[in-house]
Structure formats: C-alpha cells, structure tokens
Amino acid sequence: MALNKTLGSMLIIAGTTIGAGMLALPLASAGLGFTTALVAMFGMWALMTYTALLMIEVHQHADTNATLNTLAQQLLGRKGQIIANFAMIFLLYSLCAAYIAGGGGQLSEKLSGWFNTSIPPQLGALLFTLLIAAVVSVGTHTVDLVNRLLFAAKIIALAVMLGLLVPHVEGEHLVEMPVQKGLILSALPVVFTSFGFHGSIPSIVRYIGIDIKTLKKVMIIGSALPLFIYVLWQLASQGVMSQPELMASTTLGSFIASLSDLLHNPMVSQSVSVFADLALATSFLGVSLGLFDFMADSLKRSSNVNGRMQTGMITFLPPLAFAIFYPQGFIMALGYAAIALVILAIFLPVAMVRSQRKKNNISNEISSYKVKGGNFGLIIVTMAGVLIISAQALQMVGLIPAVG
C-alpha cells in the first residue's frame, strides 16, 4: 500500500508539472539552441527540486494536514501568511483558469466535430470544469487513480508524438548557438514555470504522511520524470526545425501546423493535440487539488459532503467565470504567474526554513532532516528567484526581447 501511494504521488507531481508549460518550451527556447536550453532546464529542475526539499524540511515539524497557509502563519506570522495566501491564490487560480480555457476550447472543438454542430467554447469550459471538479471533490485517492490512467495515456501519446518526430531530427539543428544573449534571460521564467508543482506538496504530505525518506524520493523522482520528458521533447522539436523556423512559430497552433507541413504528416498535429489534451487534464488535476486543499484549510471547511461541495464551488467557480468572461485579461495575467511562483516556490520556502532552523537552534532541537547547503544554499536559490523576477519584469517593459 505504501509503495502504491509512493508511485501515485510521484505521478501526481509529474502530472502536475507536465502541462501547458511543456508545450510552450520549444517556443520560449526557440532562439537559445538545444545545448543552452538543456542547461537552463537542468538548472531550473535543480532549483525547484531543492526548494521542494526545503518544504519537506518544514513539513516534518508541522501537522500532517498543514497547508502553506498554516505553515506560513506558524513560521512567518500574519504578514507572511498574507503573502503566502496571495501568491498561492493568484498562481493557482491563474493556472486553473488557463487549463479551463485551454481544455475547454479543445473539448468544444472535438465535440463540434463529433456531433457535426457548433459547440461554444463556454460550454466546453463548463463541461471540462465539471469533469475535473467531480474528481477533485471526492478526494486525493480518486485524483491519484484518475491521474494514473491519464498519465499512462499521456505517455503513450508522447511516445507516438516523439516516434513521429525523432526520425527527422537533424544534428546541425542541435548545435545552433543562441541568436541573442538576451533571449537566455527572457526564457528563464517560462522554463521555471514548466517545473512548478509546489502547490501540490501539502496534499502529497497529507496523502503519504510525515515519512521523510519517501517524500524525498517522491520529490526527486517525481520532478525528474518531467525533466527527462522535456529533454526528449526539446530534442525532437529543436532537432526537426531550424532556429528561424522555430522563431517564426509564435503560437502553439502555428508551431503544430509548421511541424505537420514540414513532415507532410497530419498525424503529427493529431498526436500533439491528443498529448496537449492529456497534459492539460493531468496538470489541471494536480493544480486544482492543491487549490482545493488550500481553500478548505484557509476557510476551515469540513470534509463531509456539504463541506467538500462548498470548497469545490470556491475552488472552481472563480477561474471558470474568469476564463469564460475575461480570456484576454487572463492571458495578460499569465505574464505575472512566474512572479507568484517565485514567491510561492522559492522565497517562502527559504523564509520558512530560516525561521524553523532558528527555532530549532534556540530550543536546542536536533532536526531529523535538514537540507544540505546551509545558509549558502538558501542565498543561492534566493538570488535565482530574484533573477527570474527581474527577467520577467525586464521583458514586460521591453528592455530585453520577448519569447514565444
């Protein structure tokens, strides 16, 4: 049973991570070249895995059911709690709205084809939300089971997609150097958000319990799976298309169309479309699970049927309404999602670990688990967070080139 939960938790981490961010990676790294993009991905994976381990260090001293809201209040006080709540709510609601808009649009297109009639995207968004909300509202175990099925299907779709692309990889495309130095900085926020899973960590801790050895394994292997898949995806996409061709594809749709035209194979667009559907569904499951548990803890909702229905409405109605009525406004807000993620996944873990370690030193308590690196490690990851926020801000004001 423990092994079953460990595997399921790894897949929740991987499924949460592999979403729309993966589909945007070729566009964001189009001008970097394969080698530079690879270095950026390994760096962001190491950064996010390190801060996930920091969260495990914090969780070992708290109740199993503690969420970021509870941890921030205990270690950082009221101000820290407000910052944590704002970052969590902004990031998770934004991501949920993105997945509802993207998944709903794709669902409406498929339904329109199946029933030979025009299905509005608003209806697709509603149906997509109801499906995911029904699974999440039941509980983490149900999310685990559904996520396993979707993740397996996603791996099959990914294998088909890569199988169609890899035979056409050309070595000369993989040795191309960055077009502009500024693009390296510009790509960091997108690459960074592609490894975001920290909102689901409290749910994983609640599911497994305070088992440090198992939780470390879940965080490292669960985040390494997306890294491995991202490397294959970058190898296929950047190896098939030259830098000018990649940089000419400014949207996912144009990128898929370019691949299909280049390879003269409509199955490419079909396989990418299926993979995109599954990636959105698994990522939406993980993100909405984290938001659901966070809202239940913050608003002190009970775990009975009535309480879970209330939490479900609080979790899913705001992003659904925003995705339906303000799609363009949300697209603008996505540019700020990386900043919220830096606060959530870097600054808060560092601040809470520092506070926890100070408390342990004062009480002479010997921590059962302490992430290696000491204060130097905390300084390095904090500087990385500042760099990512700076890159996003400079890109927004036009001081460095935009990506995608």
So what's the pLDDT on residue 328?
52
Q: What is the mean pLDDT of residues 275-280?
A: 80
pLDDT in tens, 34-54: 888 899 999 999 999 999 999
**231 inside domain:** yes
**257 inside domain:** yes
More confidently predicted of 281 and 215? 215
Both tokens of 380, joined, read: 């390095």
pLDDT at 285 > cutoff 50: yes
| Structural contact between residues 296 and 303, judged by C-beta atoms closer than 8 angstroms | yes
pLDDT band at 217 (very low <50, low <70, confident <90, very high): very high
Please report where in the chains the tokens 């709205």 appear, as a residue: 97
- d(CA 369, CA 375) in angstroms, rounded, equals 15
Q: What is the mean pLDDT of residues 191-220?
A: 88
**362 inside domain:** no
So what's the pLDDT on residue 386?
95
pLDDT in tens, 355-377: 988 887 766 666 578 889 889 99
So what's the pLDDT on residue 331?
47
pLDDT in tens, 143-202: 778 878 887 888 888 888 888 888 878 777 777 766 666 677 888 888 898 898 887 888
pLDDT at 387 > cutoff 90: yes
**223 inside domain:** yes
**225 inside domain:** yes
pLDDT in tens, 111-154: 887 777 777 878 888 888 888 888 887 777 777 788 788 878 88
So what's the pLDDT on residue 222?
92
Provide the CATH number for the domain around residue 56. Answer: 1.20.1740.10
So what's the pLDDT on residue 179?
61
pLDDT at 384 > cutoff 90: yes
pLDDT in tens, 313-353: 888 898 888 878 865 544 455 567 788 899 999 999 999 99
Residues 6+ apart with CB under 8 A from 14: 151, 222, 223, 225, 226
Which of 343, 370, 354, 32 has the alpha carbon at shortest distance from 196? 343
pLDDT in tens, 64-97: 888 888 888 888 888 988 988 888 888 888 888 8
- d(CA 251, CA 24) in angstroms, rounded, equals 8
**26 inside domain:** yes
The amino acid at 336: Y
**55 inside domain:** yes
So what's the pLDDT on residue 224?
94
So what's the pLDDT on residue 295?
82
- d(CA 20, CA 17) in angstroms, rounded, equals 9
| Structural contact between residues 128 and 107, judged by C-beta atoms closer than 8 angstroms | yes
**247 inside domain:** yes
So what's the pLDDT on residue 159?
85
So what's the pLDDT on residue 178?
65
Element containing residue 204 per DSSP (H, E) = helix 201-208
Range of the domain at 321: 2-335
Task: Give me the number of domains the chain comprises.
Answer: 1
pLDDT in tens, 234-266: 888 888 887 777 777 665 656 766 777 777 777
